[in-house]
Amino acid sequence: MARLPIGSTSVIFIAQRSDADADGYAQAAHAMDALAQQQPGYLGMESVRGADGLGITVSYWASDTDAKAWRDHPDHAAIRDAGRDRWYMHYSLHVAEVVRSYDWVKP
Amino acid sequence: MARLPIGSTSVIFIAQRSDADADGYAQAAHAMDALAQQQPGYLGMESVRGADGLGITVSYWASDTDAKAWRDHPDHAAIRDAGRDRWYMHYSLHVAEVVRSYDWVKP
């Protein structure tokens, strides 16, 4: 992700996967990525999962209003229920307003 | 990471590792983790690296002043130079002020 606009919103989602339903999870994750990209104010997303099943996904939004609209999207809410039911052992979610942003690429 | 205080500061560091100097990197990462934990206002850190070498580390600070003090710590600055020289292909760093925070654990 390149430099973010000051005042934009980052959503940090940190989740421990269960071992259950890998195919269902992968399908849902793919569908949510695609749907997020179509939402107003979507700026980007970055996601990493380690071998132990802990994952961090950060999504970026032009405004907190946009982040809340994505949170409240009915398809997203339904997937969240499935996540709590089947895919996650625990998660944290932190919403934060960008105050500084830098980007570096090896010259 | 449990729920964060509203108004605390999150530092999102997303970096692509090079293949170079795995031992030196691991040693430095360990030393920086230990040093960060001793800094004023340190609330916690979470880090994940995927098989492709992309990593996301999020550190949490009581205030932006604390996050800036850690940025300016001389040992941290020296390691950053080594990172640009040897360990990273590119990175982004986003500093953001927490406006909402949630935590969920499977009942």
pLDDT tens digits for range B26-50: 999 999 999 999 999 999 999 999 9
What range does the domain containing A63 cover?
Answer: 9-97
pLDDT tens digits for range A9-49: 999 999 999 999 999 999 999 999 999 999 999 999 999 99
DSSP state of A2: -
Kindly report whether the global pTM for this prediction surpasses the value 0.90: yes
Residue B1 confidence (pLDDT): 72
Domains: count for chain B: 1
**Residue A16: which of B25, B79, B1 has the closest Cα?**
B1
Q: Is residue A105 one of the residues assigned to a domain?
A: no
Give which of A95, A97, A103 to mutate to test B binding, by max B Cβ within 10 Å: A95
Q: Is residue B20 one of the residues assigned to a domain?
A: yes
Taking the CA of residue B98 and the nearest CA in chain A, the distance in Å comes to: 4
The ipTM (two decimal places) reads 0.95
Give bridge partners of residue A59 from the DSSP assignment: A11, A45
pLDDT tens digits for range B62-83: 999 999 999 999 999 999 999 9
Q: Is residue B2 one of the residues assigned to a domain?
A: no
CA distance A105 to B91: 7
Q: Touching check for A84 and chain B: CB below 8 Å?
A: yes
Query: Is A75:B80 a contact under the CB 8 Å cutoff?
Result: no
Provide the CATH number for the domain around residue A38: 3.30.70.100
